[in-house]
Amino acid sequence: MAQLPFSVMDSIDGNNINAAILVHGDMFRDPVHNSTGWTNPAYYTEKPEGAAALWMSAYDDAGQLHVSAQTYRQNGNDYWPGPLDASGALDYATSEQWAKIWKVRRSDVAVHLSNIMHHTGNTPEAILTWPAKGNAYAAGKDGVPLTITEDMAPFVDVNGDGTYQPLKGDYPDIKGEQTLFWVFSDNGPAHNQSNGESLGIEVHAMAYAFKRNTLVDDIIYIDYSFVNKSSANYHDMRVALWNDATISYPGIEYIGFDSSWRLGINYKDYNPDGGTAGTPTNSYKLVNAALGITMVRCPGDRNGNYIPAGSFMPVRNDPSVFGLPAGTQEYNNYMHSRFRNGMHLRYNADTPYMLISGEERNYVYPDDPSVVGGWNECRLGLNSGDRMYVLSSGDFTLNIGATERLVIAVVADTLFGSCPAITSFERMRTLADTAWNIYRQAVSVRDVSPPLQWLTVHPVPATQSVSIVMPVIPVSGSVLSVYNALGQRVLQQPAGRSATTLDIGTWPTGYYTVVVTGEEYIYRGRLIKQ
């Protein structure tokens, strides 16, 4: 039997965003019709491009590099649906059984909870077949029965017996109005995208969305849990998102980055003045949209503090040194701020990036378009094209049997604007900040109303000193941190019980982010040194 990839997909479509999810570690596209797989009611597209996928790289104790990645599937598949067995492998037959995305709505849970007695006839199918530990009714692709003896999909264990029994009242532990759950691994029938050593990682993935008629309706979350099922401990490990989101005609796209929110942004360089066919052909309507991916939780985030993103790198859809990678080392390079040939990203204010001279940087285009002389594509007025990027976490360790998590939020903005009229990424930051706060506060989905938890920073801009005022008096143990536009922490101190004054007279000019963190909250503010 030919070991062909599976075209199984579903959509997280519980609010304004409709994003396609696939079972091979990729998303945002329809592989059957070769079309873009994310939309918003305000958008229109017939373009065949558009995709995103998970990348991973790490070194074992012997110094061997392991890489797993995915792009458009032209060259192969590193990820396959399904969990790894006791030997750390996944065969094709098992993968086919697990080639399914389980979709549960909050209304399904409500129906289940309203039933006094439970039987197969009145239990919603999504709840009955949920792939949780011990579920006798778990079903995969085409309804094939699954035997699940390990922790898999999360559930509420009503009677506390450690197994999922929907006819005794257990139900999926979901977030939002709608949740998708799927499992994929990187040591399956083939590993022929990166053509290197797999890691033996099993990924439990969950996407969810809220619907509240607020900013949260333009946000979806994707939560990845990485389980090391191999026989190797990994160090210098990174996880990343490769993103080629088609928010416009490929000839008029730019990318940008905001390190404070670990936020990658796709936006337009100008208004294409298009109708349903668009001008140029197949571009969007008159909507100047933008799409962002923000890492709201990264491996290494602990106790309310977060680590900076590891890298934000541009990628072109061509065979150049800036183009799509080939081989494990080139994938790993992009996740470490290096191009295909191993040269580090370098900065020059008046050029996109330099290979020979200039200061080494980890992030390309980190400046807001409103920064005078800033390093951004809008100011540079480059010849735009089919923009892609790789947004990576920082380094972390994943030992045998350990688990780490990455949570991203996809944010969509239909009011973004385009160059040269665009002045700021402020609305994208607001969406990202909303996503962070909802996730960090862990509020009940029944009570989600996303008030922005902003710090008051004044004056703005400032030359010598600023005053920081919290929304509420922080508890003991809260920490105030300041990060520059490169994501580097330039200050950390205990948060004051009321207003805190910072002396910034000697700081370089530019944008800074002020963050106050505690166990149950995170507050943010923008500081501008003039």
pLDDT band at 461 (very low <50, low <70, confident <90, very high): confident
Checking if the pLDDT of 42 tops 50, the result is no
Q: What is the DSSP string of 366-427?
A: -S-TTSTT-S-HHHHT---BS-EEEEE---EEE-TT-EEEEEEEEEEETT---TTT---SHH
Helices and strands (DSSP H and E) totals, the chain: 6, 32
In the chain, what percentage of residues exceed pLDDT 70?
84
What whole-number distance in Å separates Cα of residue 466 and Cα of residue 503?
Answer: 7
Q: Where are the beta strands (DSSP E) in 38-173?
A: 38-39, 51-59, 65-68, 80-81, 102-105, 155-156, 171-172
What whole-number distance in Å separates Cα of residue 88 and Cα of residue 202?
Answer: 9
What is residue 194's predicted lDDT score, i.e. its pLDDT? Answer: 94
What is residue 344's predicted lDDT score, i.e. its pLDDT? Answer: 95
Checking if the pLDDT of 249 tops 70, the result is no
In one-letter notation, the amino acid at residue 443 is V
Residue that the structure tokens 């035997």 belong to: 147
Name the token pair of 40. 């918003």
What whole-number distance in Å separates Cα of residue 526 and Cα of residue 518?
Answer: 18
In the chain, what percentage of residues exceed pLDDT 90?
49
* Average pLDDT for 219-231: 96
**pLDDT tens digit sequence for 59-90:** 999 999 999 999 988 888 999 999 999 999 99
What is residue 80's predicted lDDT score, i.e. its pLDDT? Answer: 97
What is residue 215's predicted lDDT score, i.e. its pLDDT? Answer: 85
What is residue 333's predicted lDDT score, i.e. its pLDDT? Answer: 98
Q: What is the DSSP letter of 496?
A: P
CATH classification of 453-529, choosing from 2.60.40.3080, 2.40.37.10, 2.170.190.11, 2.60.40.1180? 2.60.40.3080
Domain regions of the chain by residue span? 453-529
Is 185 in contact with 84 (CB distance < 8 Å)?
A: yes
What is residue 355's predicted lDDT score, i.e. its pLDDT? Answer: 65
In one-letter notation, the amino acid at residue 463 is T
